[in-house]
Amino acid sequence: MNKAVRKLRPSDYWRIGEHESWFSDMAAKGYHLKKMGIYFAHFVQGEPKKMRYRIDVSIKKKITLEQIEMYAEIGWNFVTSYGLFHVYSSPAELDAPELHTDPAEQSFTLKEMYKRLALNASLVAISMILMIGMLCAIWFLDGTPTLVLIEGGVIQQTILTFFIGYLAYSSLQAALSIRALRKNLAEGKAINHHAPWKKHYQINSIIMVLFTTVVGLTAIIPFIQIAKGDTNTLPMVSTDLPIVRLLDVEQNPALIRGESFYMSDKVDWGNRYTYDWSPLAPIQYESDENGVVPGEMWEDGSGEYSPGIFTKVYQLSVPSMTDQLISDLIERYRFEISREDFVETNHPELDSLFVHEDKERKEVFASKGKAVIYVRYYGYADINSVIMNIVDKIDLISH
């Protein structure tokens, strides 16, 4: 029983002469073509034979029985089709006449294909331009490309854009190659049925394996993020999470949790923490916490004193990205505040520290080792209390 074998096929399907040469060389090794798939050519392993292969081009994907029989009468047996390409084979010793004896006439058979390839290249190029535009908006619209990259939401789109770019390049190359082939045929230059194929085959195989691997790996990133991501209500007491807690900053035993203003899926979103993951920041936390001190009022008399705190935490895979991440976090959360109002300060237990204080609003951006923490606090506690708690928490993820 003959054994079925699959071989990674050359991706440049428009290189007709190279495909014909490849099929012949495979037959000489005992691999006889049966079918062409998207990524693989299917062979049946048998006795090595000297075979000739020819590829005929048609504007229709399906060829007629009459055409198959006509070619069979002159010694060419139909093997398979892929797209608009139809493959025929003939034993070398039969010395069957060529399917096309007039190169100039054969060039007309490629006219419709060239039009289709040119249209396809145009559509892919337009898609590429649109994707680049959308990607640039995601990356650069708010001026925080490092933050966007680290949070992981744009990695898949970026890799996909590179893949579409490769397809656009391949489509353009196909159209130009078929145009050049038509020109050569029109000038009487026949297709080289023994064209060397190994170089292009090796390069394309490497590119295909790399693209398939990278695209496959990036495709699972959103599923990992969904699986790992979680949101829960913050417990009343302090935990070992690397999150700065409101009670630790306030140091007021009278502080209680305020009423829940939004509940969903049994989570108090005013007092919650969210865990996320990305390849560049495998540990990410975001938390909101709000409280009330009964009987104490805001100084402006606007109501009962109700401090709040918001925290962003990152443990990075690449520690050298911490400085740029802090810069992007400042850009993301400064709102109408000037960047110059965020003052860099030295601290013996931190690698970098930026602070901003405006009445009740206090913001701190800090890094140490692999860790970056941003805290925005509303209340009357001293900013040094915020910094002290950041120092305590950042050690949990700095290594």
Q: CA of 144: how far to CAs of 4, 173, 325, 327, 382, in Å?
A: 53, 36, 8, 8, 29
> What's the mean pLDDT in 285-311?
94
Q: What is the pLDDT of residues 248-295, one digit of tens each?
A: 999 999 999 988 778 888 899 999 999 999 999 999 999 999 999 999
> What's the mean pLDDT in 308-313?
97
- H/E element holding 115? helix 111-140
Q: Of 23-37, 58-72, 271-285, which range is least confident?
A: 58-72
Whether residue 2 has pLDDT greater than 80:
no
Q: Are 166 and 229 in contact (CB under 8 A)?
A: no
Query: What pLDDT is recorded for position 333?
Result: 94
Q: What is the pLDDT of residues 220-233, one digit of tens each?
A: 888 888 899 999 99
% of the chain at pLDDT higher than 90: 56
Query: What pLDDT is recorded for position 143?
Result: 86
> What's the mean pLDDT in 114-126?
87
Q: Where are the domains of the chain?
A: 3-98, 111-188, 226-394
> What's the mean pLDDT in 18-28?
94
Query: What pLDDT is recorded for position 1?
Result: 52
Q: What are phi and psi of 35, to 5 degrees?
A: -160, 150
In angstroms, the CA 226 to CA 216 distance is 17
5 three-state secondary structure: strand
pTM of this structure? 0.75
% of the chain at pLDDT higher than 70: 99
How many Cα atoms sit within 13 Å of 174 on the Cβ side?
22
The answer as to CATH 1.10.238 being correct for domain 226-394 is no
304 three-state secondary structure: strand
The mean pLDDT value of the chain amounts to 90
187 three-state secondary structure: coil
